Structure 1
Amino acid sequence: MAADDTPPVPASADAADPVVETTNAESNDAADNGDRNDRGQKRGRGRDNRNPNRDRNNPNNIKTGGFGSNKRDFLSKRDQVQDNRAAKRRKVIDGAADGNSYMSIPFSTDEIAAEERRPKRKVAVLIGYAGTGYHGIQINHKEKTIEGDLFAAFVKAGAISKANADDPKKSSLVRCARTDKGVHAAANVLSLKLIVEDEDIVDKINSHLPDQIKVWGIQRVTNGFSCYQACDSRWYEYLMPSYALLPPQPQSFLGKKIIDAAKEKGTYDEYMYRLDDVKNFWEEVEKNDIQPILEKMDPEIRAEVIRILHDTADQELTDDGEPSKPNTDVAKDVEMKDTPAEETTTTEPSKDGEVVTTEATTEATTTETQPPAAKVEREFTPVELAVREVKAAYVAAKRRYRVTAPRLEKLQEALNQYLGTHNFHNYTILKSHTDPSARRHIKSFQVNPTPIRINDTEWLSLKVHGQSFMMHQIRKMVAMAVLIVRCGAPMSLVNESYGPRRISIPKAPGLGLMLERPVFDVSNKKFKELGKEPIDFGKWDKEIQAFKDEHIYKRMFELEEKENSFHLFFNQIDNFRTDYFLWVTPGGIEASHERSDRTAEKIPKALQAELGDEADGVAEDGSSN
């Protein structure tokens, strides 16, 4: 991906449909173009002088050789470009996409010829979506994306002609803000050329979309408008359980490192003071929740459970990122990911290092000639059941936690360190300290002082307003602030992270991230002068809030309840023996692993998902890497 501050250049419209624009500014531009053409004609280079004897019966504009020549016929330059583009597109589809494409919808020559030609207009399409199940917003050939479903809906609704359905570039498609895999947007904007003559075009498009994608409205804009270039700033919201602010368990690898370093540096009392009301949290959980469970167990089972819990809390990574002490006695924690018994679940690493879960029901794999396969339910051993019970008790205790005002004040203090313009090279990938595009401006970063409670879990809302964001930047900013609070680290760590030393900052789960809205203040002033409607989501406030409640927040809460995403994220950070994150200890940045050339350094596989180094090419806004 290119430099983040360099907007993507919209592809020229190769479409067969004429584009009509009527603004005064564009009329003046057309007049200027006409003057230039007149001057060109006087010099013998006018558009009409290029081929005054053009054969109107030659629809493909095939040219022939000069006088007395037997040169073969050849296509015009425009047709050659179109043919080359089509050939490249076909090569990509046949190769990477196995002959199928989400961004190329084929129609026959007869279907295209039979379709009525209608003018298309440059518009801004205001959208919202829940990103669960999608590989981000940006359309591509082989992955299911938000734009892929929107593009197909545009074609089905007649907003994009069949002649242009094979390539989004023909419609000059640009998005205001790119969102990563699984990330949501209550409000986002696309700019492109659509056929919008039908008064009910929005309803037609929505009728071809799933419930988790919604078109709020379509507004006419000037022909040169690009929603990415015109966006002044962006608001994001990040939701997370309040238990994310709990300190690491004292027996975990990171917990022990923090305590040992604090005693070594003589800052143990200061560390305990920063923990404030949670300094005794895990001691009380052990006494009130865990010990009663262990006391009920047979002595031999209890000893084995304690050994297993100790081993999983102190695992060293091999070069391949696998635990150095694998435990074959304990099955996967079913309470961590609640999978229905009638489903077969498999996991495999995706290209961005995350784990993709695929589920296939027994019914889906059954044919008429093949009887349903018998369910294979492995019985857990008494030790496995006991371990599951103990781990479930830890998770339940974390969910019961209720954050206090002093704890929230510490989080707000950490977020305040981001305000202003800073070098965020440590908060993204493939950027050095000397890269000018790593400098970003944060306008505000606020935590809502009033948490919300969903079932047994308390949630915090963080809202950040910035001009633009790099890949993973927001999620890494959240992780850094949360780690500082939960580990009792000094606030000065944030300022140190802006320095030249490369440190490893994990990216918080994408589950909680949502694009709240983009801002178009400057463009809206111009639209007002031209008599055009501003890009403003305010008229759909009630609909957007209902959509957020039903399709975004609900998905966040349900997915966290089912998969314990935040618990697993911090459990991974706390319990693997690695020096990547020791900057959060009293030893500071010098105690942590210093990253080398990011394009060459071998990262443990178990940490790739947390660090975000295996990126999927999708950023949190319109920027590219």
Structure 2
Amino acid sequence: MTSNKREADAPAAAPREGTPSKRPRIDDGASVAPVPAVKDISDASVATGQAGEAPSSPFNPKEADSPSVRGKKAGGGRGGGRGGGRGGKGGKGGGKPDSRSGGSRNAEAAANKAKKDGLKEGDGGAAGKNAGGSASGAGGDDKSDRLPKRKVAVLIGYNGIGYKGSQINPSQATIEGEVFKAFVAAGAVSEDNSTSPQKVSLARAARTDAGVHAAMNVLTLKLILQPASKKPDTSIEEHINSFLPPGVRIWKTLRVQGSFDPRRGCDQRHYQYTLPTHVFLGPKSGTPMSDMLERVRAETSSTAASSTTAEASPVIAASKAFWSSRPADCAFTDDIQAKKAWRMPQEVLDQAKSFIAAYEGSHNYYNFTVGKDFRDRSCQRVMRKLELSEPFVVNDTEYISVSFLGQSFMLHQIRKMIGLFVLAVRSATPPSLVPETFGPSRIHIPKAPGLGLLLLEPQYIEYNKRVGEANAKLDELLSAGRIDDKAHKDQIRDAIDPTQLGLMDKIEEFKREQVYKRMWDVEEKDLVFAKWLQYLDMYSGPDFEYLNPKGVIPASATYKKGENPEMNRRVDGEQTRAPGEADEEQDAAGGDDE
């Protein structure tokens, strides 16, 4: 198949008409082709969920750090007085009920407590002097002289190239390790707490694999928001960023409700995976993968009609046309240069869209992670929306992006979903294979390179709703003169929403310069995707015999109980690593997030 070289001046992906005519071209100075927008689902649908899905984070009003709860903590006994137990001196047990509207009285109590706490926390305040005096302990400053910490959500972005995942690991270079060092250097974490992130209650919304990126991830911990080394006219974000490399950024630090948990409170996560379209070309004739596909097609095609249908598949026809124009003895690097000039036909793109849509819904994804059994309920995950972008061109190579919106993801889940997606489309395997993978038959699915995976953002729909309701009550109290400006400001919380916070321009620029540009440069130089497929195509074995025209999983491709799909079949009593499983160290083994 021959095709003309096509480029477009505008970076946005234009609608396709008929043939793959013009693709938008993105070079160093241009912006990234947008991925199809995935609209947030309604609050009601998040709250109620879908059939078969586990609840994300049910709201318990008793645990919420609302003004009413704070008031109870700030106040005293049940009788309403400051000191009061039942009928005690501080309050009258069984007194008249408060006739004021819900939360108002307790919010005022919280405001009064905030005023008193402010005196205790101020530098050189009377409370501090009385409590601690002027003497310092042998180990350093007295506790009364320490700067106050606050529980905050830290919104961060990072390029994962060169890091062994996101979660902190003392023996490895990780994103959280890099950020925590910056907190300490900036004085946002004290020297006493610098030896262990656990001392400041570090937690995260999602853990990412080695080499995986994030436009926005969320950490929570207790930070000193006014460190001594910070200049008065410098924000805490700018101050911390001065200790970080350009590929890791702090977007915002937000005071959060005391009960906030970044992982359990997350309603859904939005990921994107970008890959070159040439990976959908079928394997080169003469490779073990090509021989296996031809054999299983012959075995599963019981009639001439089904055989003709398989041979007439758009991707098979496009692959034959491509490889017929190449010398059989052509070197790998020469083949790759020719692949970069290939453009995905509309018919192949349509097949790809049909296959990726088959993942949507609530399913058992145990085949798409490691160390899980079919009966493990934690493998039931909800994929709310998957979309495929229009192709776009970068440095003469065509790419597409897959957008994933799901409740939560298991370790390696997205990379394995992409792995099966690529293998199935390039072999003309129908989407009916996808439901088969959710059944009890254990198969080996290779995970795609981490290079193309980007966490766009975790989304907090229910938390933001609660924050809005609590803020509205505080606004009412302020308007009524029942709390002052200082108490109002101290208790107001921001929604965790990059659009509302005005961060999108910064994040988009970071994605262009620090994620996409570096991602494409690495692929151009190291041929990550081409080498991954080359390794799979040279594998000889029955693992991938589920790539057949019927979309069924034969017994020959399954693993028995006790066998590890991440390892090859036993040969002479030994197991070796499975095809496509690179020798990379895993972050957060057994984690709940990609």
1:558: which partner in 2?
Answer: 521
Decide whether the 8 Å contact of 2:212 with 2:454 is kept in 1. yes
Displacement after TM superposition at 1:608 (Å): 4.1
1-structure distance, mates of 2:394, 2:521: 10
1:279: which partner in 2?
Answer: 317
SS of 2:327's partner is helix
Q: Out of 106, 116, 122, which is 2:151 matched to?
A: 122
2-structure distance, mates of 1:38, 1:211: 55
Displacement after TM superposition at 1:281 (Å): 3.4
SS of 1:557's partner is helix
1-structure distance, mates of 2:210, 2:138: 36
Cα 1:513–1:609 shift into 2, 3 Å: farther
**1:237 and 2:272 equivalent?**
yes
2-structure distance, mates of 1:282, 1:397: 14
2:580: which partner in 1?
Answer: 610
SS of 1:482's partner is helix
SS of 1:577's partner is coil
**1:477 and 2:417 equivalent?**
yes
Displacement after TM superposition at 1:271 (Å): 1.5
Q: Out of 50, 65, 71, which is 1:28 matched to?
A: 71
TM-score, L = length of structure 2: 0.69
Aligned pairs (5 A) from 1:25-104 = 25-31=68-74
Cα 1:400–1:614 shift into 2, 3 Å: closer
2-structure distance, mates of 1:454, 1:411: 20
1:269: which partner in 2?
Answer: 308
SS of 1:192's partner is strand
- Structure 1 residues 18-47: Cα deviation after superposition (integer angstroms, max 9, x where no partner): xxx99623422414776699669x9xxxxx
**1:204 and 2:239 equivalent?**
yes
Determine which structure has the larger helix proportion and give its number: 1
2:98: which partner in 1?
Answer: none
Cα 1:280–1:535 shift into 2, 3 Å: closer
Q: Out of 449, 469, 491, which is 1:529 matched to?
A: 469
Q: Out of 422, 429, 433, which is 2:363 matched to?
A: 422
1:165: which partner in 2?
Answer: 194
1-structure distance, mates of 2:408, 2:540: 35
2-structure distance, mates of 1:109, 1:455: 62
Q: Out of 364, 387, 396, which is 1:446 matched to?
A: 387
**1:518 and 2:561 equivalent?**
no
1:376: which partner in 2?
Answer: none
Q: Out of 506, 509, 524, which is 1:543 matched to?
A: 506
Q: Out of 153, 162, 170, which is 1:133 matched to?
A: 162
Decide whether the 8 Å contact of 1:139 with 1:145 is kept in 2. yes
**1:410 and 2:351 equivalent?**
yes
2-structure distance, mates of 1:282, 1:112: 75
TM-score, L = length of structure 1: 0.66
Displacement after TM superposition at 1:435 (Å): 0.7
Decide whether the 8 Å contact of 1:441 with 1:466 is kept in 2. yes
Aligned pairs (5 A) from 1:203-352 = 203-266=238-301, 267-274=306-313, 276=314, 278-282=316-320, 284-287=322-325, 289-290=326-327
- Structure 1 residues 59-107: Cα deviation after superposition (integer angstroms, max 9, x where no partner): 9xxxxxxxxxxxxxxxxxxxxxxxxxxxxxxxxxxxxxxxxxxxxxxxx
Cα 1:610–1:434 shift into 2, 3 Å: same
More deviation, 216-225/437-446: 216-225
- Structure 1 residues 412-439: Cα deviation after superposition (integer angstroms, max 9, x where no partner): 1011111110111101111111111110
Decide whether the 8 Å contact of 2:279 with 2:422 is kept in 1. yes
In the alignment, structure 2 segments of 5+ residues that lack a partner are 1-52, 58-63, 89-129, 228-233, 472-492, 569-574
More deviation, 610-619/575-584: 610-619
1:502: which partner in 2?
Answer: 442
Decide whether the 8 Å contact of 2:419 with 2:446 is kept in 1. yes
Displacement after TM superposition at 1:576 (Å): 1.2
Cα 1:271–1:528 shift into 2, 3 Å: same
Decide whether the 8 Å contact of 1:430 with 1:599 is kept in 2. no
2:395: which partner in 1?
Answer: 455
- Structure 1 residues 457-482: Cα deviation after superposition (integer angstroms, max 9, x where no partner): 11111100000000111011111122
2-structure distance, mates of 1:33, 1:481: 60
SS of 1:180's partner is coil
**1:486 and 2:515 equivalent?**
no
2-structure distance, mates of 1:434, 1:179: 25
Displacement after TM superposition at 1:192 (Å): 1.2
Displacement after TM superposition at 1:440 (Å): 0.4
SS of 1:582's partner is coil
2-structure distance, mates of 1:148, 1:231: 23
Decide whether the 8 Å contact of 1:560 with 1:566 is kept in 2. yes
How high is the sequence identity, in percent, across the aligned residues? 35
2-structure distance, mates of 1:206, 1:438: 38
SS of 1:290's partner is coil
- Structure 1 residues 473-523: Cα deviation after superposition (integer angstroms, max 9, x where no partner): 101111112211100112111010111010111111111000011101100
Displacement after TM superposition at 1:569 (Å): 1.0
1-structure distance, mates of 2:241, 2:556: 50
2-structure distance, mates of 1:442, 1:245: 23
- Structure 1 residues 301-342: Cα deviation after superposition (integer angstroms, max 9, x where no partner): xxxxx5xxxxxxxxxxxxxxxxxxxxxxxxxxxxxxxxxxxx
Decide whether the 8 Å contact of 2:566 with 2:578 is kept in 1. no
2-structure distance, mates of 1:220, 1:119: 13
Decide whether the 8 Å contact of 1:233 with 1:520 is kept in 2. yes
Displacement after TM superposition at 1:231 (Å): 0.6
2-structure distance, mates of 1:33, 1:595: 62
2-structure distance, mates of 1:159, 1:392: 49
Displacement after TM superposition at 1:615 (Å): 6.4
User: What is the number of equivalent residue pairs in this alignment?
Assistant: 449
